[in-house]
């Protein structure tokens, strides 16, 4: 299935854009996606943390993705 991913902060610099479409197997999880992103963009490994939000909530690595999900790469936050 195809997943559209949105990026913010330093994640935009790393993927060189605000959006990215990836092809992942049906039933793939947040953990699978993180592994795929890190392999394709090794700079993610240098960050203090890497989280994935699905439909505006932080999700654990075992969370299963679906095609219509809003998937967002959340690099280390720095508000305030």
**Binding region for another protein (CB under 8 A):** 6, 8-10, 13, 46-48, 53, 56-58, 72, 74-80
Nearer to another protein, 37 or 75 (CB): 75
Q: Which residues, other chains included, contact 31 with Cβ-Cβ below 8 Å and sequence gap of 6+? A: 61, 62
CB atoms under 10 Å from CB of 62, counted, come to: 9
Nearer to another protein, 9 or 31 (CB): 9
Nearer to another protein, 11 or 28 (CB): 11
């Amino acid at each position: 299935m195809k997943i559209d991913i949105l990026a913010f902060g330093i994640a935009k610099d790393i993927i060189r854009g605000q959006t990215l479409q990836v092809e992942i197997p049906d039933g793939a999880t947040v953990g699978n996606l993180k592994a795929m992103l890190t392999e394709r963009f090794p700079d993610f490994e240098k960050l203090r943390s890497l989280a994935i939000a699905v439909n505006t909530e932080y999700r654990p690595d075992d969370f299963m993705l679906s095609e219509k999900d809003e998937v967002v790469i959340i690099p280390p936050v720095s508000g305030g």
